[in-house]
Amino acid sequence: VIGVVIGKTDVRGFPDRKNIGSERYTFSFTIRDSPTYFINVSSWGREEYVRALSESFRVGDCVTIENPLVQTKEAEREEKFNPVTPSCYKLLLSENHSVVKTSSCYDMGINLLSLLHLPVKDPQDYYSLGDIVANGQSLDGRILNVLAAVMSVSE
C-alpha cells in the first residue's frame, strides 16, 4: 500500500495483560491514496520498535507499507480513537512481518501531496463556529463536526 500520511497519534504505553508488569506500546496513523480512500494503520509491540517506527516518518510523508495484516474494524470502538474511514478494514503492522518505507512523494512520481488538504468528512457535514454560536441552544448535547482554522498560536 502506498499513500501519504494525513494524520498520526503519539506513542502510548499500556499494561500488557498477558505479561503482568510489562507494557505494550502503540501508535496509529492514517494514510490516503486518493481523494476518496484512506485507511487507519496501527502498530503494537515493544517500546523500541513502536517508537522507532513512529519517529521514522511524519504527517505529509509518503509511505509504502509491505505485509500489513488486514483486519475488519470494529466501527464503534475503532472510530472513538481514530478518524472515521470509508473502509470497513484497518491495517495492523507487526514487528516480525511488516515493513514501512518512507520516501518523498516527488521521488515516487506520484502526486499525493494534494491529498493532505482534503477534508476527511463530507463537506456538508460540518458546522462553522458561527453556526454553533448562533444555534448553540438547539445543538446542546449533540456531537458535531467543526470546520475551523487556526489563525495564530502564541503563549
The pairing of beta strand 62-66 with beta strand 69-72:
unpaired
In CATH terms, the fold of domain 2-115 is OB fold (Dihydrolipoamide Acetyltransferase, E2P) (2.40.50)
What integer best gives the mean pLDDT of the chain? 85
User: In the numeric block, which cell numbers belong to residue 24?
Assistant: 505494550
Instruction: Tell me what pLDDT residue 83 has.
Output: 77
Residue-level pLDDT at 20? 83
Residue 37 identity: Y
Residue 39: CB atoms within 10 Å: 23
**Higher-confidence residue: 18 or 50?**
50
- Record the pTM: 0.78
Q: For residue 61, what are the contacts with CB-CB under 8 A and spacing of at least 6?
A: 4, 5, 102, 103, 105
Give the three-state DSSP class for 148. coil
- Residue 80 pLDDT: 66
% of the chain at pLDDT higher than 70: 90
Task: Read off the C-alpha cell for 118.
Answer: 482534503
Q: Measured between alpha carbons, how far is 82 from 22 in angstroms, rounded to an integer?
A: 25
Q: What is the mean pLDDT of residues 22-39?
A: 91
Q: What is the pLDDT of residue 151?
A: 85
- Is 135's pLDDT higher than 90? no
Cα 115 to Cα 13, 61, 86, 138: the distances in Å are 31, 11, 15, 34
